[in-house]
Chain A
């Protein structure tokens, strides 16, 4: 990145880009403040506010497209946010080609999912509150992609985390939902801490957190500093996007209502990590070790996701692990650098459509099947839910990459790019991993599709006539299905060029990889057909309704490849023990000794009185210990100084 990064001031309508964030935020505020008075119409306000942002987004996008390619950005400083000493943080927004496509994805897919949720949440007493949180999420997500510096991004980052936590726990009556909310929260914290420290590091090294200053300054930094900064940002990205080693929260997050899974945990929030890396491309491109790490995380995660996805029986969890795996592809793309940045974004957009489509389809199936989520208990639904069947089918064909659906145009180039890495062993390892992933994806998605919609019906006894969902739910499905079919070709031809001002030139004539482009295309189609065919052969006659004994790999996959056990051993246990130890010390260690003495002396005297003498003595004792340590430390320093 030799050329300097510079953003143009906003012109014309672009000076009101703040409305994008303000409208959903205002709607959320109205819904929360009016309380029950808004119960009757609150959900429509929620839908309208996001739709309004979408329309505005289109207008801004068109006017951005009308600018010259080299001045295609609008940086709007609202006010000086923090000015302390050397630190200057702007409260500003940046609308450029990259944030533009994200705005359209968030508000476009967001509008459809909001619309769907009106139907899905119809009988839920908390629907208004649900829409308030949902709008809050959209506002935070827009802030995340529209900020013009890392602090603004961090605001949005925390905001979406908060909204996601609230929405996962929305059905608080289920203990599993509450636990899942906590898990998501804690694992995200690990990532967030990394991001925060990364931003602080930027400030110390470069004296600014504005995008342009950071990107222009990145080339002046020592390689080690860039590496550490990048790893910290990557840690944040992994937490938010459910990548190895912080992937375990994402499937559990499916405890939330299905529209939440579709919007937050499939289409938008979880891709924030990809956005962060793509946005920070000058940092990531500056260090090859860093790129290698990102690529490895992506490749590993995409395989983990596929393998576990193939062993799950819960329709939403299969889709969730598939999301983990597809984001792995995106990480692979952004890690490869160069032209693959744009490919990753194309895959992200395409994935936004087909995964939202399938999640909403899953919601529609659950709606008709009394909230059953076990695919062993579905089967034969294609006759009863025609629209859901067809729309889900387009999503299925899109994700496994059958031409001419969108997944083919977005995923296959990433596989090809992986084979084009300069170091030969890396090209083989990552290329084959991506290829294997494509085959596995075809396997587990076909299994999911076939067991749900075809084969003999294996319904539970209480279901007689599964019904199709009302139009308010099927219309978004149809629109998303059209996106899954058509968007891929359109985006793969236009988006890379559109993103050039932000992500750099996508290399026209590809460097020659270890395998030719045509070979890769043919190979990936072959493994896809093989994977799908194998799944069809195994599951065309349905499956048993009970878990079957299985070999080592399947058992391991059913247990999430033991990653939960790993997390528990490495993060959870020590944390629990640390807390317990501290509480123990506080309650029993010191007090206990004294209380015990007092109890021995005072016998059955009232507890309060016993606590009184016990506490003050023990407090004084701990103060004295502290005092001796502090003074002792000073004296020790001083003696050391003399010596």
Chain B
């Protein structure tokens, strides 16, 4: 047996991920060492510092364009942009996760193992401090997502997928209230997620059979110059795509989304809606643009149908939702469809506009869930639409902010929502996918209706007898909400700087 040769590793380029994983491990130690009372501030500070440090490292690395660890990881423009986006959105999510002043003890259960409905459960619901394991879990998830968007071979990508998925499954189960719903959501997410992962892995096996390797450039060369049966290629590509479409919540692989969004603790839902979307589309972009661009004429129609289906399922079902979290879930599904339109442009504009969309949508959706966490009654968050009737009279500022976010979702001009849709649709037309744009425009007209109905409900309806109270946001939520709203407006009015940044990110290294 020969000496095992370690491939050269560029630690500088990997620093952002290493910082996060390191801090996550440290966080686990904190759980063991620190006294219970001190854990929350220590963990929150540690996590935020780690994210800021990782972000600094990303900025310092901004000109790096390499592959490292024997080609397993690519640190290039899009990867760095996506990592930066994940970190920024992750930092805002951490603010929401760390909030403890709206609900005593925070949004998380104090001990996940407590039996639902038992006496202990009553006590913990009454305000025992929430579990602090959520911080290391979030950091692991963030690190996994960063690896996911920079993975340059299919196995690394699979490992990254699992690294960020497993903490998410756990996080979903940790809601302080409505715990059965939360645990149910987590179990569903876990089962269906594993199912999708299996598809992905199966696809990797096919592709290995086809290309004789799992590195993306090996696959690309094999696609350009096929040596084996094309059936392997197409079956493999289809299965891999399904794994990614699941994470990105595209129809018909979106079915988990409404249940999981509804059941998970709201800060976790916000985290998933913003960051998971970035990670899933980041990986999808890399796979499609690097490995399979050679067969784009074959997959564009199929994935185009998926995009159209997604846009319409999201838009049409959003109309009949009565729960705000489910409404936002269907909205997130429809948005995945619009993103897919940008991805399928398969040109430079497609890449840069999708990146822009991911950031813009991430901020808006974080703001939306932050607002959602503020409207509460004795049972926790009041998410039924009817409860929001006339809320504009009691809390004009909250309703005004939410209106702004909804207008952004509806794609009303001068908000980031309009800019991002405009950018992806423009790119798709450049890329010759006009039919997708026509469906996209029709679907976005449809989905404007539930958003504007919500606006009317808040401002023009008579308040019901039991309009819930609106909590004063704590410092953390206020900051997160402020950032989300500012970004929503700023990216709508002066989108140029971020658009420039997405264009400077350039292309994937091949």
- B-binding residues in A (CB < 8 A): 32-33, 35, 79-87, 129, 151, 154-155, 158-159, 162, 165-166, 169-170, 172-173, 178, 181, 185-186, 189, 192-193, 196-197, 200, 203-204, 578-579, 582-583, 586, 608, 611-612, 615-616, 618-620, 622-623, 625-627, 629-631, 633-635, 637-638, 641-642
Contacts and interface: CB of A to CB of B under 8 A. Distances in A.
Interface in B388-429: 396, 400, 407, 412-414, 419, 422-423, 425-427, 429
Nearest first, the 5 A-B pairs at minimum CB distance are: A626-B252, A631-B238, A155-B413, A172-B460, A634-B234
B231 A203 contact: no
Nearest to B305: A633
Interface of B: 180-181, 184, 187-188, 191-192, 195-196, 199, 230-231, 233-235, 237-239, 241-242, 246, 251-253, 255-256, 259, 298-299, 301-302, 305-306, 313, 316-317, 319-320, 348-349, 352-353, 396, 400, 407, 412-414, 419, 422-423, 425-427, 429-430, 434, 437-438, 441-442, 445-446, 448-449, 452, 455-456, 459-462, 494-496, 499, 503
Nearest to A195: B441
Contact of A620 (B180, B191, B422, B445): B191
A203 B427 CA distance: 11
A155 B298 contact: no
B441 A197 contact: yes
Contacts of B319: 579
B298 A637 contact: yes
A162 B412 contact: yes
Contacts of A83: 496, 499
Contacts of B234: 631, 634-635, 637-638
A608 B413 contact: no
A83 B461 CA distance: 41
Nearest to A85: B349
A35 B459 CA distance: 12
Contact of B423 (A82, A165, A189, A627): A82
B441 to A, nearest CB: 5
Given A579-B319, A608-B181, A625-B252, 20 more contacts: A32-B396, A83-B496, A129-B459, A155-B413, A172-B461, A172-B462, A173-B462, A189-B445, A196-B445, A203-B429, A579-B320, A612-B188, A620-B192, A622-B252, A623-B195, A623-B255, A626-B252, A627-B242, A633-B305, A634-B238
Given A82-B499, A193-B445, A634-B235, A608 B180 contact: yes
Nearest to A632: B238
Most buried by B among A87, A165, A204, A631: A631
A526 B126 CA distance: 84
B313 A582 contact: yes
Contacts of B188: 612, 615-616, 619
A200 B441 contact: yes
B460 A619 contact: no
Contacts of B320: 579, 583
Nearest to A177: B460
A333 to B, nearest CB: 30
Contact of B242 (A192, A626, A641, A642): A626
Contact of B298 (A165, A611, A612, A641): A641
A147 to B, nearest CB: 11
A82 B191 contact: no
A192 B320 CA distance: 23
B460 A162 contact: no
Contacts of B348: 85
A82 B496 CA distance: 6
B237 A634 contact: yes
A155 B452 contact: no
A240 B50 CA distance: 53
Contacts of B462: 172-173
B412 A627 contact: no
A620 B255 CA distance: 9
Given A620-B192, A633-B302, A169 B456 contact: yes
Given A154-B413, A582-B317, A635-B231, A615 B259 contact: yes
B492 to A, nearest CB: 10
Contacts of A193: 441-442, 445
Contacts of B256: 619
A107 B317 CA distance: 41
A154 B444 CA distance: 15
B396 A635 contact: no
B299 A634 contact: yes
B302 A634 contact: yes
A304 to B, nearest CB: 26
Contacts of B445: 189, 192-193, 196
Contacts of B434: 200, 204
Given A82-B495, A638-B231, A623 B192 contact: yes
Given A84-B353, A85-B427, A631-B238, A196 B230 contact: no
Given A84-B426, A622-B255, A635-B231, A159 B413 contact: yes
B452 A165 contact: yes
29 contacts: A33-B396, A79-B496, A80-B496, A82-B419, A82-B422, A82-B499, A84-B352, A84-B427, A85-B426, A159-B413, A162-B412, A169-B460, A173-B462, A181-B456, A196-B441, A200-B425, A203-B429, A204-B429, A582-B317, A615-B259, A620-B192, A626-B251, A626-B253, A634-B298, A637-B234, A637-B302, A638-B230, A638-B231, A638-B298
B181 to A, nearest CB: 8
A642 B252 CA distance: 28
Contacts of B313: 582
B302 A616 contact: no
Contacts of A85: 348-349, 426-427, 430
A39 to B, nearest CB: 12
A362 to B, nearest CB: 24
A181 B230 CA distance: 55
Contacts of A627: 199, 238-239, 242, 253
A155 B493 CA distance: 12
Nearest to B500: A83
Contacts of B400: 32-33
A32 B499 CA distance: 31
Most buried by B among A33, A169, A625, A633: A633
Contacts of A615: 188, 259
Given A32-B400, A631-B239, A166 B460 contact: yes
Contact of A630 (B181, B241, B452): B241
Contacts of B187: 612, 616
B429 A631 contact: no
Contact of A616 (B191, B305, B317): B191
A155 B442 CA distance: 17
Nearest to A618: B255
A450 B187 CA distance: 73
Most buried by A among B348, B422, B449: B422
A173 B456 CA distance: 12
A544 B348 CA distance: 71
B253 A623 contact: yes
A616 B456 CA distance: 35
A203 B426 contact: yes
A154 B462 CA distance: 32
Given A634-B298, A638-B230, A612 B184 contact: yes
Contacts of B305: 633
B93 to A, nearest CB: 26
A158 B413 contact: yes
Contacts of A82: 419, 422-423, 495-496, 499
Given A35-B396, A80-B496, A630-B302, A579 B461 contact: no
Given A172-B456, A203-B426, A84 B438 contact: no
B411 to A, nearest CB: 9
A635 B238 CA distance: 9
A612 B449 CA distance: 31
Nearest to A617: B191
Most buried by A among B187, B234, B412, B427: B234
